[in-house]
Structure 1
């Protein structure tokens, strides 16, 4: 009994898929450590998924179910091929290694497609009538296995015109961009965001949902804007800036990303990060000197020049900016009593000032 082989083990396509998994495991041994949970994990999981789904599929009595698992196996094969191409581009594997994966992958795509076509073409619903007892049902699948091993098919089971049609498809964005706006490649823009006249969104930037990007705005590479960020006209958001959710950037306010710029000196490797925390407001024509973070719900007055870290809820004005009070999340000035408590006149929320730090209090506290 120990030498018994299950029907799926006798399938040529399953055997070849195991060989592909062996190859992938061997190739990924030399990948960089920082890819352990990236390409290494993705490639190994996808390669194992091929044989696993073929095995599960062939054990099902319904041809429809069988075809379902065979389709999943085919999809996993495409994942392996795509990730292997990326691995070669990153120089994790050689061109010869990629050729081995492609060669075996092409053979498997033939076999998997042939198997799927066969399963979908069957007029009967079941391989055989289901039984109440398990018994030796698996052994009765062996004649079918012999038949399946003789199947052949083209690697692609749809006309090439279909691929060309897919390449011609365009997906309507779920955000609005004015025709004069420029959106570079490799940009992530969330749903319901609006980008207005003459604005430029540069590569690798991320803009969240329901943002409003006004006229003549530049969002530089690698900038990250959270959800519901409002950017008014004539603002340039430079590399190194991160704005969390609900941030307001007033008209013509200014970010910087280098402390000591010189036209003749390249300081791209010296960009400093500036984080504007959730709900903060920066007024018109204010300047934020790079490397100084703005606390959540802080309020920077119009024309202020920020040269240091700004606490949560702080109200600052002037050049250089100085703190003159505190603001609520609703945008109202807070007046604290002798116990350090204040109530927002707009929302009726309560705030506590203790040791120079403001926190919003729950209604029950």
Structure 2
């Protein structure tokens, strides 16, 4: 029998009484949109991240979109980001008429290389959007320092994969002008559908985001700004509240499982992700780089080990974006990673026996 790539069934079994009770309360009170669980979750998440404001939204993509709308991104404005990420990162920029400006990644972390950002800044630069890929935060202090030197360019951390991660003792999502995360079911903290959240210490930006997510309304039927239907529904907030009850345990498990993978794979002919000393990685995906990826994936599949590719083609090579973006530098590391990355099964409920099974199959596949 194949292993689960992410074991959501085991997670639900452990949390079933709490999640069921919280969902039942929503069904009983019937406030499916903006019910009391929305505020409860926002307060809990703001406290967790150490931020002044949390605004729950309909998805991680919506979080990025609303962050840019709150910053008043205009057609032709540029946002510096990475091409080695999921399409949503560039998608929201293009939807608003902006231009994604790509710089390359660090080859060992697959995160945006801060040393390349400054040369990409132009008078049209409206924001910098680093992606905390695979669950490890980018070097946000370096990025914030560059932004500050250039007139205080807003920095949006795309933290869709890194909620719960720490950077120099601070939590992901509380490290820039905006933090934006996703509660897609496979994320470190996920709901049972789509959901996301924005985090900021800026009162004016928070108010703008709260209005934008309800069609730009400052009060009912008073549309102060252009907005979207971007609310996170009450049932999904109830699910996340239930999952928060053992989230610290899950993060500890992810860190331990990730460390064990790193140790067990050290002698194999593959490239492991580097985790910087001043931060951790919550392993939204446990990703390695291998040669002959197709053959390795097929061998693992035959052994009952599922894999995934995050991501097989960088965004500047995607048909939808190649004419709508600008590569500020050559992107050899992004292109190399896209050819070689492969993600292995990872979740807080992955047992040592299952992990040993993955490692044994991978060792045989690479032999």
TM-score, length of structure 2 as denominator length: 0.21
Structure with higher helix content: 2
Ranked by relative contact order (alpha carbons within 8 Å, sequence separation 6 or more), the top structure is 2
